[in-house]
Amino acid sequence: MRRAGRFNAQLMDFVRQHVRPGITTEEIDRLVYEYTVDHGHRPACLGYRGFPKSCCTSVNEVVCHGIPGPYVLREGDIINIDLTTIVDGWYADQSETFLVGEVSEEARRLVQCAFDCMWLGIEACRPGGRINDIGRAIQQHAQSQGFAVVQEYQGHGIGRQFHQPPDIPHFPRPRNTERLEPGVCFTIEPMINAGDWRTWLDRRDGWTVRTVDGKLSAQFEHTILLTEEGPEVLTLTQHGPQKGHRF
Ligand code: MF3
Ligand code: CO
Ligand code: CO
């Protein structure tokens, strides 16, 4: 899992350099595909439950699972790029939201909030602690900023499979007393909405998830290994935003 995380992080470092106005999401997808197979690995998204591309590109009001296509990024957009690689049978999953050129103050604040929510969730993980501690930390911060936490999509266990138990909700679930034991790998990937927390699935393509009110959504994701000492972030990138980063 450490090796998978390291490769996926390196892929994110590569992709990050190309995000700018004028590139299409399809071109980003091609970079992901080529870099991954050139290194002898496989993009997990490609063919996953029929998903047609090698990564998810979710622009502005798209919450998650956006399909790369002819859309041209333009100044003021925010785009989440979600990358998952299979390295020798092991999965690593991470995403970042990028500001394309200059963006509105609202967009910047939302991206900052999603990033801080992810780190607060990571820091809430303790061996033997409760899964609900993660969602409580995330929900509290999002609400304090006037934003809302998406409930329909959650973090997940990860390992030999893309998605496996346990579910990691980004808000506290009543009556969930499940604990996290050392040795477990899972993702924390809060989706934070500027307006309403609710989403709708676009049935035209079967994948794209949007906010119900058309307002912005932002997300960050890391794959975590919980050790006896605490959380170890397996997909931390050398060149990407570190904890405490200001957008
Ligand atoms: N990477 C997403 C996650 O964080 C899942 C994408 S599934 C796909 O769990 F099929 F849309 F690629
Ligand atoms: Co995930
Ligand atoms: Co992901």
At position 216, the amino acid (one-letter code) is L
Ligand 1 atom closest to 189 (CA):
4
pLDDT digits (tens, 9 = 90+) for 12-63: 999 999 999 999 999 999 999 999 999 999 999 999 999 999 999 999 999 9
Which pLDDT band holds residue 238 (cuts at 50, 70, 90)?
confident
Question: Can you tell me the mean pLDDT for 1-6?
Answer: 98
Output the CA 182–ligand 3 centroid distance in Å.
22
**Mean model confidence pLDDT for the chain:** 98
Does the C-beta of 56 come closer than 6 Å to ligand 1?
A: yes
Structural domain contains residue 177? yes
210, part of any domain: yes
The answer to whether residue 239 sits within a structural domain is no
Cβ–ligand 1 distance for 61 under 6 Å, the answer no
- Best residue among 42, 48, 219 to mutate for probing ligand 1's pocket (most ligand atoms within 8 Å of CB) is 48
Q: Is 84 in the pocket of ligand 1 (CB under 6 A)?
A: yes
CA of 239 to the centre of ligand 2 (A): 21
Specify the residue with its C-alpha closest to ligand 1, atom 7: 45
AA letter at 173:
R
> Does residue 243 lie in a domain region?
no
Q: Which residue among 63, 91, 150, 162 is best mutated to probe the pocket of ligand 1, counting the most ligand atoms within 8 A of its Cβ?
A: 162
- Residue 12 is predicted with a pLDDT of 98
Q: What is the span of the domain harbouring residue 60?
A: 2-233
Q: What's the gap in Å between 217 CA and the centre of ligand 3?
A: 15
pLDDT at 199: 98
Residue 136, in any domain of the structure = yes
CA distances to 70, 86, 124, 170 from 188, rounded to whole Å, are 30, 18, 11, 8
CA of 29 from ligand 1 middle (Å) equals 14
Structural domain includes residue 244 = no
Q: How far apart are the C-alpha atoms of 62 and 214, rounded to whole Å?
A: 8
- Domain harbouring 133, CATH code: 3.90.230.10
Could you give the C-alpha distances from 233 to 195, 222, 243, in angstroms and in order?
Answer: 30, 7, 11
Q: For residue 247, tell me if it sits in a domain.
A: no
Assigned token pair, 193: 């909405």
**What is the per-residue DSSP string for 191-241?**
EEESS-S-EEE-TTTS--EEETT---EEE-BEEEEEETTEEEETT--SSSP
Q: 131-143, pLDDT tens digit by residue? A: 999 999 999 999 9
- Number of domains into which the chain is organized: 1
d(CA 60, CA 76): 9
**d(CA 158, ligand 2 centre) in Å:** 8
CA Rg value for the chain: 17
pLDDT, average across residues 76-102: 99
| pLDDT at residue 218 tops 90 | yes
Q: Is the CB of 29 under 6 A from ligand 1?
A: no
Query: Counting runs of H as helices and runs of E as strands, what totals does the chain give?
Result: 4, 15
* 189 domain-assigned: yes
